[in-house]
Each structure stands twice: as C-alpha cells, then as structure tokens.
Structure 1
Amino acid sequence: MTSFEHEHRTSSTERRDPATRDLHARSVAGILDAFGTADLRAVEAVAEARPALTALIEAAEPGFVRGGRLVYLGAGTSGRLGVLDASEAPPTFDVDEGRVVGLIAGGDAALRRSSEASEDDPNGAQAELDGLALTDDDTVVGIAASGRTPYVLGALAHAKSRAPGAVTGLVCCTEIAAPPPGCDHLVELLTGPEVLTGSTRLKAGTATKLVLNAISTALMVRAGRVHENLMVDVRATNAKLRARAIGIVRELTDLDATAAGDLLERAGGSCKVAVAMHHLGLERDAAVAALARVAGRLGDVL
C-alpha cells in the first residue's frame, strides 16, 4: 500500500493505477488508450458479478410483479445513476412515476450541484424512506462505489427495519468483508483503480450503470412489460416515441404505417392493446379486458 492509499485507508477504487501514473504526459491518443482498457475492465467486472446480480433480481422479481417498487439510493455519482435509471422507467415501460424511485444524498439539488457532505449522514435517507411506507414487496438497492458510504449503509439498515421482508441489496465496486447490516444481496463489481485516481464516475460508474440497466430492464421483462425484445408499454409522449410505437405495432401486425397509426389511435396509444385488437379481432375495451386477465402479458393473450 502506498502512502497515499495508507492515508485514505480506502477501497480498491481509491488506489493508484500503476499503468496510468504517466497520465499527465500522455497524448490524447494515449489517454484514450487508457480509457479503452478501463472500459473493458468495467464490462468484465459486471460479467464476473453475474451470479450475485442474478440472485438479487430473482429475489426482487416476485414482489415487483405483485406491484412492489424498486428503490435506488446513493450519493454523488452513484445517486445520480440511480435517479437516472428511475427517471427513464415511466416513458420506457409506462409504469407509474413512483414504481421505480431514485433517492440521492442531499436531495434533488444534488443532481446538479455536488453535496458531498450529505453522504456522511447515515440517517440522511430516513425521512424519504419513511415517506415511501416501504412494504415487503419492495426492493431497495444501495449504490456505493466504495461499499461504505454512511448514507447508503444507514439507509439499507433503516429500510430493513421498516420492512423486514423487503429485498435489499448493495452494489459496490470493491471487495468488502461481508454484507452490511440490513443487506440481503451483495453485488461486488471489482473494477479496480481508476484511470484518474479515485474518480469513480469513470470505470466504477460505467460498471454501475450497466448493472442498473440490467436490474430495471430484467424486472420489467419478467413483469410482462416487454414482448419479444420490443418495449410494448412505451409511452408515446413525443414524436419520436410515437414513431417508435407505430413501428412496434407494424412489427407485430405487418400493417403499413398508416394503418398501424390508425390502429394505435383507436387503441388509445397502447401498443399492447393495438396488437391484441388486431390479432383477436376485438374492439378496444374487449382487448383491454383480455390483457387484464393475463396481467398485461401480451404473449399470453396472443
């Protein structure tokens, strides 16, 4: 351990990478070479963590399918990544705004302006967690590159005390001795030292984003909000998404663009309803009812 590492007593994410000690003297091409190597390591770290990640998602699935929520919480970059993933769930999967929740130390203001001191408060998330009235169907995922952020660890323990049956997990980017109190599932992404020492918005952030992509998308697939590999619950809130919705209807019905657009209109903008109407010869209300009987799973109704 170097004197720098000894002083900080920190995880592998804070160690210096011997391969980039000359970073200040590199050309642009040389800097990008370093990032290319680091990005590959991020992908490898996620692959190595797949068994733990699978266990977390499989544990979360039953509660989520019953209507439970996915709650992310973190500080700094980790918190921003959680909020980002949560904010993209409603337009992509047409879920209610509160179905996937992102909490960040320091509140929403910390999304734009750093609030680093907030991460040291182990009680910082308690009020927001209490406001959610957690249930045993919920899943709470803490995100902390170092694996030891007080805001995150305190939140996991508090969540478990409020809803003992809820699934809890910690996504970190270093090896830790054991899951912290209140944590059911530990997902360790061993990304190692950063190109720029301690800047976990880099390789650790990349690996974390990959994992959050997988958690939310896998749960939505298992909840029936995807058919084949199409986002059949997409919310057509702008021209781009309406075009995507028409494309999905065309893909699943073989209609031309005009006919698919008309069908989508009659279906109230729902791709699922439109496809069910077409294949089953139903009007909108009957198609909606048919989908409701199979919990919205288009494959089952077809």
Structure 2
Amino acid sequence: MTKGIIFNIQKFSIHDGPGIRTTVFLKGCPLRCEWCSNPESQNENIQILCHHDTCLHCCHCVKTCPQQAISFQDGYIHVHFDQCIGCLQCIQQCPSHSLSCEGEYQDIDEIVRICKQDLPFYEESQGGVTISGGEGMGQPQFVEALIQALKKEHIHTAIETTGYVPEETFQHLAPQFDLLLFDVKHYDSQQHFLKTGVHNELIIKNLTWAFQQGIDILPRIPVIPDFNYSLEDARGLAGMLHKIGLKRVQLLPFHQFGEKKYDMLNKEYTYKNQKALHNEDLKDYQQIFIDEGLDCFI
C-alpha cells in the first residue's frame, strides 16, 4: 500500500509527542466520540464540507452533482456522504468557493519528503513524526509501510491510537512505533459506549498487552464534562491504570476547537454550549492520580 487517505499534515506540532513533530492525520475512526475535535476524521472517505457563511444558496452544486448526493434543505446545503463518490465536481464549479474537501490520497514518498524537510528540527528537539487521525491503525498496510519508510530515515515515530483495533493488527503494528500515545477515556464499559459508540474491553486488553511487551506508552485521558470529569471517574481511571502497571498519564482538558467543523459537516455538536476546561480546573482531578502513585501531568 503506497497510498493512504489523509486529511492533514501539520508541521511544528508540540503536543503530539516529544520535541517538535510533524503530525500526519489519517481518515477513518471506529469511535464516534461526541466531543471529537476532528469529526472529519471519522468517515474514511473523501468528504465535502460546506462553508455556510459564504454559501450563496444558488444550488449550483445540487444540479452539478452526478450522484445526486447534494440537496438543499431547511435553508442549508446538505451533502449525503453515503452517496458521494468524491469526484469534486461540486467544488470545482461552486461560484462562491464555499465547498471544500477533507481527505486525499497521498503517496508515502511524498509524505516522507514533507517530513524530511524538518529533519533539523527533529534532531535538535528529539522530535519526529506522529501518526494521528482518526485511527492510524485503521489503514494498517499503509501505516506500516509509512513507518518503515520513516525508520529508514532514522525518524522517531509515534502514533495517537484509540486502542480500538483488532488484536492481531494491534499486536503487529504497535511494537513498530517508538511511542504509543494511547487514548484512555473511561474505566466503565457502558459509560464508554454511551459517549463513544464502542465498549472498552478491547481497548483495555490492547493497552495491557502493550505494557506487558515493554512498549513505550503514554496514556492520555481527555477529561470531558458529563462523561469522565467527576472525582469518582478520576479514581476509577487511576485505579485501572495502576492495576495495569502504568506509571504516567497525561490529562487533556476539554476544548471546543472542532466546533465549526460540525456545522460544515451538517452534524450536531453535543457539547456546543459546554465551557472549555483549563489546567487549573483539573488540579483536584490530577491529585487523585498522583495519590495513586502515577506521574500525572496536564
């Protein structure tokens, strides 16, 4: 697999692993987290986004689409992703340039070329490349080939993973990375299911296996109001990580950076009126992990 479908390559990332990094975002995710800051990553295909604030409502895109995948309803353009084939004719012919696409097929050689432009920054800061998404392991053949190409250039590699990956795939890919940035969202399987659409048994099983193999792991907990923000939740999560044997964890305060994307995708954003959390809001939460013997930072 020399090509994969990605939706962004972000340079000079400082929150996706050690040092200065380039983050490669892959499309496709098995989870449907209600707070997701990259909702465009969930669908594995190319998606058309509508910028409603500049849309003329001329409906030229509706008439142009050969698949009849676009409609005008309730005063807004709607793209029906189950019908869209990603031909991009609507984007090319939109008179107000209000349509854009998320996702494109990119060749491994081109991605590596882009990443190598920042080799001096990686070397100076002990940084590298991070695979994100979506779920990077959701395109397993492509991501393995990409990681091997980066290793030939002696580039440190990390992956942000949900952990919700078939065991065979996870056990094959996980040891190939220098670091796993492993999302841990809830200790209770039913609560996990209610807000993400999947249960957590497979996630915990993969996390435990990776720890037992001696793989470098940084568990990261997105702290989300009305989901896992209570001190009781902190105790449950801290106890689970301690039981596995993990020694450090990072807390990620809830934010709303991806809110506008939901409008462009014609999706409802459950956390629209929820205030963002800040580091100072998590001090008592953090202390519970510290009391459990974990190196917990924000």
Say yes or no: TM over 0.5: no
Greater gyration radius:
1
TM-score (norm 2): 0.29
Looking at secondary structure, tell me which structure has more helix per residue: 1
